[in-house]
Structure 1
């Protein structure tokens, strides 16, 4: 007589939940930018939180100590050296006082924030990077190499800079026929994955200037896609189906012919922005009208994607959660 033991999959994240911060721990009266651009409005590191804000006659962002809470005075000093709205800001992973900003003025600027935050408006950048002919909306610091920054603009061009010298190290201008939606380094910093308006997912070696892998129509929909590298080298993409359903897909970079897994989410126009935490292998998804925590699990040769918690949180809250 034989007995078959039932196999019950249990996730170690099954008890994960999100809790909204109390009002006294939140930031109030922040005049965030009204510029339409599918990107987070804030980024945080262990010292500061930076928020892109409205500015008359140029572009600006706030830099506040991470422990700051309550009302933000309208006279709070800003970083305000751009001639047009700021589209993206990213903290350097190797120096908590260094931040890069990208703008509609076609430039990228790198700033040195003093300990304790700003006491007066900052207008002079440490270095200004100029090579793009159209607005710049994507920044990605190299995960392991000091002072290496990747930028992508609406001129469909990728640039890699040494911000220590201001030198343009590599330039890739013919890999994308249309607008670049997202760029992400892998964990080692040897390749990047990109998504583009042509619906293709690409794996690129930027130093050699070559496209290693291409997956046409990674998602069938016409709305923007996003892609992030996971710690094991796989790629997670967010996009839309032909019927405008929001989707998640998991890809093996060795073979992009078919996704390892696809999950339909819901029907909405809001682009899903993925934030990956390599320490827990958790992905935070944020978008208009949709905030959930998703885990990826691979075992016995199969891949399982499960939504472990749904919470009403803003992109700003998720960015702070990812850091804290």
Structure 2
């Protein structure tokens, strides 16, 4: 069943091709086209199970859906159509003839029965957009392959508490001021006496693994300090006595952390006083600051080359910075208008210019995504409505393939989109669905995927029941006995290409790339 909608002069026009067995006075009829020409048209006996979520532009359809549902409850078994001011166009495919029937003059000609106990799926009749990722699907690992007993403590509403890299999972633990670091190789329940990072009399507001060092974890603390923890290769066997180093970076609570993607020992911090600074971790010195935040920042991200930083803020603005410039603020723009704090990430595909993606909400309850061009930052390139919901959205970028994954805190699904030059530039592909909501989610590095099985992404999801589940995303291929190089371009090896002193002095070293081909 296919449909298309448009609005013209206040009158809603909707057309559906209903491929159903039809009985009555037209036994040879195998398709009915119904054209609704007035907004006040009413339905009699229409038993169609709508699937509005599968129809782009579904806002107009919801009005019809409400009328159909309302009347169907009153006369669920009527076989007769009797809409007001409506023509039914009956098209006989076998004879190639089109017949218009005015129901007020020819009611007896229209006695039609629909199969109504099945869910009818509708989509636009236009040809689906071609994409090698159109059939991308997600599969959770078996429970026996997962980590159980993960006890996440209280966290900020607009924060994602789950952090992971290629080797470890880290979460704020149930006991205030503690953090658990669990090797990804662990299977089964976490021991009740699992070693914890203990910090008495203070809470942990954020935690981040270093971008270029899997064994270094930083925690943002409520007393204005940032602690750096060196994790043994196999994880902690006992609780560490003290951090490797710790710096006092503010008189207020430290709320956000973000490591530079390429330069070792470069860390961004943001505190509750709206102060944003960049530090040389090796010396504990503040080397730069990002002014002009009028409210608390909610999200930061670095461009892939580490030259730019973007911030989303509770003043509903998105800002772009060049941290090493004499005037760091490059541009700012009005971000999502909703009250929920926005999240951001740079997105793109290897060899193509990067864009900035923000995830937030409208003034209502619509959750949405927006794309921005850093080279022309004043106006959004596009806005894509996701759904209606109250939880925060978190975007995750695959910068090798130009894909974006979007998950809501408390949701059970993960949507995925593909970037493209054609409108709307961010194309919905599909979604992974689960009945288990996610307390937090982390995208693992590309080096963790199984390229032989055409697995292009892997997430680790922690649910309220304490289960940390790995989810693999695969592109189905008929033949996977050879390496699919179109799915696996060379990827960033996550090794530092410069240090803090070099970067703050203006050095920009290119990232190193490695092949995921297991035979190389």
Q: Shared fold by TM > 0.5?
A: yes
**2:265 matches 1:265:** no
**More displaced stretch, 159-168 vs 37-46:** 37-46
The answer (yes or no) to whether the contact 2:202–2:222 under 8 Å persists in 1 is yes
Counterparts of 1:79 and 1:151, CA distance in 2: 20
Of 420, 424, 435 in structure 2, the residue corresponding to residue 298 of structure 1 is: 420
Deviations 1:207-252 (A, max 9, x none): 2352111102x21112111111124321001111111210011111
Greater share of strand: 1
Q: Which runs of 5+ in 2 are unaligned?
A: 1-125, 445-457, 461-471, 473-520
The structural deviation recorded for 1:129 is 2.3
2:338 maps to 221
**2:437 matches 1:319:** no
1:135 maps to 253
Of 162, 165, 170 in structure 2, the residue corresponding to residue 42 of structure 1 is: 162
Tell me the SS of whatever aligns to 2:357.
strand
**More displaced stretch, 282-291 vs 200-209:** 282-291
Of 142, 147, 154 in structure 1, the residue corresponding to residue 272 of structure 2 is: 154
Summarize the Cα distance change of 1:20–1:322 in structure 2 as closer, same or farther, 3 Å threshold.
closer
Tell me the SS of whatever aligns to 2:443.
helix
The answer (yes or no) to whether the contact 1:55–1:85 under 8 Å persists in 2 is no
Counterparts of 1:318 and 1:63, CA distance in 2: 14
1:177 maps to 294
The structural deviation recorded for 1:130 is 1.6
Counterparts of 2:217 and 2:140, CA distance in 1: 27
1:190 maps to 307
The answer (yes or no) to whether the contact 1:244–1:269 under 8 Å persists in 2 is yes
1:121 maps to 239
Tell me the SS of whatever aligns to 1:24.
helix
Of 227, 242, 251 in structure 2, the residue corresponding to residue 109 of structure 1 is: 227
Summarize the Cα distance change of 1:82–1:212 in structure 2 as closer, same or farther, 3 Å threshold.
farther
Aligned residues: 315
**2:142 matches 1:17:** no
The structural deviation recorded for 1:316 is 4.2
Deviations 1:282-303 (A, max 9, x none): 2222222253232232235862
Q: Which runs of 5+ in 1 are unaligned?
A: 1-5
The answer (yes or no) to whether the contact 1:91–1:100 under 8 Å persists in 2 is yes
**2:419 matches 1:278:** no
1:3 maps to none
Deviations 1:80-110 (A, max 9, x none): 2364221221111211111111122221111
Q: TM-score, normalised by structure 2?
A: 0.57
Counterparts of 2:368 and 2:162, CA distance in 1: 24
The answer (yes or no) to whether the contact 1:82–1:103 under 8 Å persists in 2 is no
The structural deviation recorded for 1:308 is 2.1
Q: TM-score, normalised by structure 1?
A: 0.90
Tell me the SS of whatever aligns to 1:155.
coil
Counterparts of 2:252 and 2:412, CA distance in 1: 31
Q: Name the larger-Rg structure.
A: 2
Summarize the Cα distance change of 1:82–1:211 in structure 2 as closer, same or farther, 3 Å threshold.
farther
Deviations 1:99-142 (A, max 9, x none): 11112222111111111110111141122122222222211110
The answer (yes or no) to whether the contact 1:284–1:318 under 8 Å persists in 2 is no
Counterparts of 1:148 and 1:250, CA distance in 2: 27
Q: CA RMSD in A?
A: 2.1
Tell me the SS of whatever aligns to 1:243.
coil
